[in-house]
Chain A
Amino acid sequence: MSAQIRELSFGQAINEALRQEMRRDPNVILLGEDIAGAAGRAHLGFIDAWGGPMRATRGLIQEFGPERVIDTPIAEMGFVGAAVGAAMTGLRPVVEVMFVDLIGMCYDQIANQAAKMHYMMGGKVEVPMVIRTAYGTRGDKRTYGGGAAAHHSQTLLSVLAHVPGLKVIVPSTAYNAKGLTIAAIRDNGPVVILEHKFLGIQAKGHVPEEPYVVPIGKAKVVREGADVTLCGYGRMTQLCIEAADLLARKQINAEVIDLLTLNPLDEETIFESVRRTHRLVVVDEDTPVCSMARDIAARVAEKAFDHLDAPIKTVTAADTPVPFSAVLEALYTPRVEQITAAVDELMG
């Protein structure tokens, strides 16, 4: 296979980004629970038994050793806080909080400490750290009947995007996962990367071997169209593209924006699109109250109202905890038919 068509999965792309940045900068270290696995058992022939929920850190301990790929006890508040202290003293830690549902276990260190340290000290200290965390439900794309329920399926990104001082990014493909992860590690402040657990085969694709940056703070128009703008992130971008395919059969040309960064939000790309399409549907996997969907709707209503021909629509998760039963989880999670129905209402 030639380098031009080399394809990686989402997890492999993140793994490559971490590996290349660790080679480039000896100050980059990894911290987290079972990011390698079988900690301390190399003498028994065991190493690298786990590698994180998506195996994105597998193999790294073999190249960089346990001094830089550090398995922690289950102690989120402690090791995320340790990353803050390590970042203030010269390292560039990349911590893995296994699932975003565990953000509550370390929210003080993220929201009060990492995010605000630079501001509170009058700009005299920098906290260059990355928090990687897995999120999301399988939705209706399932291979088994029950999901991971209320404590292992959440999206919870609005409680991160809400905090001034944090950058929050959500890759959607292997290509942008690698570029955004590298950008996050090189950033001089705290960056949270939300990695969807079930992007699947659709996220797989061409990833150049050399390191590259996908800029933080820049959304991407992934499909051009003149009739309506569909705005998503992560797996929701996949849903928007599927909806655009269905709408095209009805002669409706939908433009799809992949947000990629939630904070700082690339308002201009959204406004520019709405100025051409005059209609907007925002698709958000998080629950609706105080959500990105409504934040974006409010910004467009405030700053681009004159360009709208119809009300802004939002498609979000249900305003409930994530249920276990597959039939309920499928209803909880945003679906393609909700997007097309929203567009039908706007065009009607």
Chain B
Amino acid sequence: MYERMSLIRQFEERLKWLVETGAPVGPVHFYTGQEAVAVGVCAALEERDWIASTHRGHGHCIAKGVAVTSMMAELFGKVTGTNRGKGGSMHITDIRKRILGVNPIVGAGVAHALGAGLSAKVRKTKEVAVTFFGEGAAGIGTLHECMNMAAIWALPVIFVCENNGYSQTTPFEYACPVPNLADRAPAYGMPGVIVDGQDVITVWEAAVAAVDRARSGKGPSLIECKTYRYYGHHQSDDTKRYRLAAEEEAARSKDCIKRFRERMQRNGPLAISELDDIEAKNKVLLDEAVEFAKTSPLPEPSELYTNVLAPEKDLPA
């Protein structure tokens, strides 16, 4: 788990540096601060399980095992990218890792996870589907429609709310009349838990319970992870216009990586030197990823017109 959390953190920090030095990566929404959510949840999943992500999706992709080389190449608009340069940050994904998409239409991915859960039930595969969504999606009708359907059909779907407190600059306490989104879960007929989203072990434990419930056919769950995004909504948003410095400092003091290191120092089983080795290895991975992205070719002009319509292979006679 530390390896993935550290890789997400390093990926986003490297990306931030690239953005600030003028690298051509397009608009990006940094996941920094929320690593424990993606990693804790994905650690509870099997490879065959599905996730649906949001506009803030780099962390989910890395947590589910997408290669940072092809992710970085995608952000540079290169043909070697995860989406052949057609998607960019807001669509970066790898379906082979069973990611249904990174999606900047708020709430859209929730329905895709519902569909994956429905599909798993119809196909009798025992696969589980997770939808990550921000607390901003709490006001979107799609979420309510999908929680209702997931519950009435007892689908293996886990609704993971990453409550980082802000949709762009709008505070959660303004946009939602109840203090916790999880408070709504019983009204939909599913269990809802609130966890410290900056503690990867706590997130993981909640996810394990929800996955057990889903896989055994008992239906959906909601996990609300209280977390924090360290940076703005996107690369050019200034958080000083809507957040108090004291609030930001308090959130950073509970940093998921820092706390994991403290936990290991106290109780093990990993030594700090082992964690440092992981950090060093991840740095090398990112050096390679940036080099790969920079040296990869751009898409040919003909790429504009490919993949628009479905291929006509394997059509029944």
Contact = CB atoms under 8 A, between A and B. Distances in A.
A326 B76 CA distance: 9
Contacts of A74: 106-107, 136-137, 139-140, 167, 175
Nearest to A102: B105
Interface string A119-152: 0000000000000000000000000111111111
B141 A146 contact: no
B140 A318 contact: no
Contact of A324 (B86, B173, B301): B86
A145 B76 contact: yes
Nearest to A101: B105
B91 A325 contact: no
B200 interface: no
Contacts of A71: 170, 174
Given A145-B76, A151-B90, A323-B86, A38 B242 contact: yes
Nearest to B106: A74
Nearest to B105: A151
Contact of A144 (B24, B78, B175, B303): B24
Nearest to B25: A146
Interface in A147-169: 147-152
Contacts of B168: 33-34, 37, 50
B298 A325 contact: yes
A332 interface: yes
B77 A327 contact: yes
Contacts of A299: none
Interface in A65-121: 71-75, 77-78, 101-102, 104-105
Contacts of A4: none
B138 to A, nearest CB: 7
A324 B91 contact: yes
B140 A75 contact: yes
B141 A78 contact: yes
Nearest to A105: B105
Interface stretch (A8-16, A39-47, A186-194, A257-265): A39-47
Contacts of A211: none
B85 interface: yes
A321 interface: yes
Contact of B171 (A33, A41, A48, A145): A41
Contacts of B189: none
Contacts of B138: 73
Interface residues of A, number: 44
B170 A34 contact: yes
Contacts of B104: 151-152
A150 B141 contact: no
A160 B298 CA distance: 35
B301 A327 contact: yes
B139 A37 contact: no
A44 B240 CA distance: 12
Contact of B304 (A75, A148, A323): A323
Contacts of A324: 26, 74, 77, 83, 85-88, 91
Most buried by B among A104, A151, A328: A328
B241 A49 contact: yes
A146 B77 contact: yes
B276 to A, nearest CB: 34
Interface of A: 33-34, 37-41, 44, 46, 48-50, 71-75, 77-78, 101-102, 104-105, 144-152, 318-321, 323-328, 331-332
28 contacts: A37-B170, A38-B170, A38-B241, A44-B244, A71-B170, A73-B167, A74-B107, A74-B139, A78-B141, A146-B88, A148-B27, A149-B26, A149-B86, A149-B91, A150-B86, A318-B304, A319-B308, A324-B26, A324-B77, A324-B86, A325-B85, A325-B298, A325-B299, A326-B24, A327-B299, A328-B86, A331-B304, A332-B304
Interface of B: 22-27, 74-78, 83, 85-91, 103-107, 136-141, 167-171, 173-176, 241-244, 298-299, 301, 303-305, 308
